[in-house]
Amino acid sequence: MAESYKQFIKRKEKEFKEKKEKGELIEMKDINRKGKFCYAREAWTFMPQYNLPEKVFIIERLKLEEMKDPITNKSFNKLGDIEYRICYYIVGKNGKASNKWVWGQFCPMVPQKDYDKLFKKAKREGTIK
């Protein structure tokens, strides 16, 4: 049995805070798959889906700290730029991921009932400025 969404959020909050304190950056590949963008996670908001407690949305405020060449469109990105990532974790149902919280690989689908609540929560918590 997977941990509850409350346990999961508590664990991830601690992990995110520790990584922020250590100054760890999140690396994301450029579209060319060779270069990388490195972001500092400045703030985040977690919220479970109202009708599926095995799915937790996250909004993250990311600050661009470093670019590792080659970057395809360098003129569009500047160090210090702020971007928001909307993502989710879900309890897996198949194979090795069964009953484990796993990163959602695809664009998050947010129920209408959760949409305003999620973004208002992120603004209230200071994730969205």
pLDDT in tens, 90-104: 999 999 999 999 999
Please tell me the total number of residues recorded for the chain in this structure: 129
Q: How far apart are CA 54 and CA 83, in angstroms?
A: 26
For residue 2, the model assigns a pLDDT of 79
Domain ranges of the chain: 5-123
> Which residue has better confidence, 74 or 59?
59
> What does the pLDDT read at residue 75?
86
pLDDT at 4: 97
Instruction: Kindly state the tokens that stand for 11.
Output: 């664990």
Q: Binning pLDDT at 50, 70 and 90, where does residue 107 land?
A: very high
Q: Which two tokens stand for residue 59?
A: 């909004």
High-pLDDT (> 70) share of the chain, %: 99
Query: What is the pLDDT, as a whole number, of residue 1?
Result: 66
Residue in this structure with the two tokens 């990311």, named with its chain if needed: 62
